[in-house]
Structures are given as C-alpha cells and as structure tokens.
Amino acid sequence: MARVSLRRITRKGRALYLAYDQGLEHGPESDFNERNADPRFIIEIARKGKFSGVVFQRGIAEKYFEELQKAKVPLILKLNGKTKLPKGEPISAQIADVGDAVRLRAAAVGFTIYIGSEHEAKMLEQFASIQREAHRRGLLVIAWIYPRGKGVKNDVSREMIAYAARVGLEAGADIVKLKYGGNEKDLAWAVRAAGKTKVVVAGGTKKDEKSFLKQVREIVDAGAIGLAVGRNVWQHERPLEIARKLREIIFGEK
Ligand code: FBP
C-alpha cells in the first residue's frame, strides 16, 4: 500500500496545528472578537507563527484561497461539522469531501467522530470511505475523536481517551486528535493504545498562559506529537508570542 508521508504536516516528527473551525462549532459570539473574527488574521498567525498546518472548513478555504496559497501554510480541510444549537445526540454532518480537499490543495483532511453517540455508526462509515479515498489521492487523515453522547459519562477519563485513540488506529487515521483530561499517565496510555497512529491534543477553552504551557509540556512528555490548538492561540493578546513558546516546547526550538 502506498504510504502518504506525514512529513507534509510535521517537523522533526512533531506538529503544531492552528484550529479555526470554532465559528461553525461554537458561533462568533462565544469565541471571536473584532480581530480574530477575520480569517486573514488567522492565516497571518499560522504563517508567522510557523504552524505545521491550519484547519479550515470548506467555505473559508475557498474564500481565502489566495491568502492561504501565499502564506504557504499546509491546509487541513475539515470535512464535517455541526453547530452548537441542536440538543439531541451529537452528529457531525459531512459538508465537504476529498475532491474539495484536492481542489483546495489541502495536505490533509480532518473528520470528527463522536464515539458513544447514537449516530456513531454513520460517522464511522463516512470516515472509512473518506480515509480510503484520501489515501488513494495522497492526502493525510486526521480524526478528531471525541467520546460524547448518551453512551459516555466522562469524556476525558483514562478509559475514554484510550478508547478514542484506539478507534483512531483501527479506523485508519494517520493522526488522532484527543482531548486531554489533565492526567499525563492516562494520556501516555492513550498514546500507547494509538500504536502507529500519532496523537495530537486539542487546546480547549482559553486558560492562563502558565497552566496552558504546563499542560503542553505534559502532553509532549506523554508521547503526543503536539497540539491542534485554536482558542489558546488566537484569543491570546499576543498570538505570536504564545506560538513561539509552543514551538520551544514542541519542536525544541531555541
Ligand atoms: P480549541 O483548541 O479551541 O479547543 O480547538 C480544538 C477543537 O477541536 C476545534 O477544532 C473544534 O472547533 C473545537 O475544539 C470543538 O470543541 P467542542 O466540540 O468541545 O465544543
């Protein structure tokens, strides 16, 4: 089987991705201000902050295609998403496909699976066909695997994060994105469960810088290859400064 090289979206085997799909997931009111509501601001952070990739939904990737090409930051095209408005069992709707990713010159596709949801089967099936086609067409695959829904009590327990990691491996993701519950040993177990699938961790809501950086050190010590972070960077007063600190920890940059 032809392998797609992880090197397109990693450096020294490590990764720092800038996630910006929160406009769809959470809405502008909860996450954005005058500055970070503009996708061009995000592209500039990704470029100057030397991120290994930026995560956009299709609409932003289309409308800001030229800016993104100029910036030369690898695109990770998110293929599904949902708003925060429905109250039922979570399902992330597929709203883009691998053809869109190829057309938009993405390096990778991203896809969310809520394991534990009543709709889990649909997301697993869609992921399977996306994974096959993406690999056939030379794209990497990142799975956001979030335990959620009626079947899940604690989404960041040792059991759940390792389960999410293992689903990433078994479903064929190149990289699995997990949430960190604050226990380094649990994350190390999840990294073990992910086998040859690499692990990156989400940033979560904005924290004070000191505790955020402490968390990032733990994540790297646990064996994750890095972060796919949004709010803790582009809600920061000085995004490039926090990006530099993240590079120091993740890539060992001086
Ligand atoms: P953050 O670093 O801002 O948490 O972003 C990571 C992420 O996975 C985003 O890609 C996504 O929009 C968001 O978290 C989903 O968060 P949730 O579903 O928990 O509200």
**What is the domain range of residue 209?**
6-251
Confidence of residue 62 (pLDDT cuts 50, 70, 90): very high
Q: Ligand 1: distance of its center to the CA of 204 in Å?
A: 6
Predicted local distance difference test score (pLDDT) of residue 151: 86
Q: Is residue 160 one of the residues assigned to a domain?
A: yes
> Tell me, what CATH number does 114's domain have?
3.20.20.70
Predicted local distance difference test score (pLDDT) of residue 14: 98
Q: Is residue 206 one of the residues assigned to a domain?
A: yes
User: Which atom from ligand 1 is nearest to the alpha carbon of 110?
Assistant: 10
Is 177 part of the annotated catalytic residue set?
yes
Confidence of residue 254 (pLDDT cuts 50, 70, 90): confident
Average pLDDT over residues 186-204: 98
- Under 8 Å between Cβ of 98 and 129: no
Q: Is residue 235 one of the residues assigned to a domain?
A: yes
The DSSP line for 76-102 is EEE-EE--S---SS--PEE---HHHHH
Q: Is residue 177 one of the residues assigned to a domain?
A: yes
Q: Is residue 210 one of the residues assigned to a domain?
A: yes
Q: Is residue 1 one of the residues assigned to a domain?
A: no
Q: Is residue 243 one of the residues assigned to a domain?
A: yes
Average pLDDT over residues 101-108: 98
Per-residue b or e along 9-25, where b marks 16 or more CB atoms closer than 10 Å to that residue's CB: bbbeebbbbbbbbbbbb
Is 146 part of the annotated catalytic residue set?
yes
Q: Evaluate: CB of 19 within 6 angstroms of ligand 1.
A: yes
Selected catalytic residue, list 20, 64, 177, 179: 177
Number of separate domains in the chain: 1
Q: Is residue 159 one of the residues assigned to a domain?
A: yes
* Token digits of residue 127: 């992921």
Q: Ligand 1: distance of its center to the CA of 22 in Å?
A: 6
Q: Ligand 1: distance of its center to the CA of 20 in Å?
A: 8
* Token digits of residue 42: 């995000």
Q: Tell me: pLDDT of 1 over 70.
A: no
User: Which atom from ligand 1 is nearest to the alpha carbon of 22?
Assistant: 12
pLDDT in tens, 137-162: 999 999 999 999 998 999 999 999 99
Q: Evaluate: CB of 155 within 6 angstroms of ligand 1.
A: no
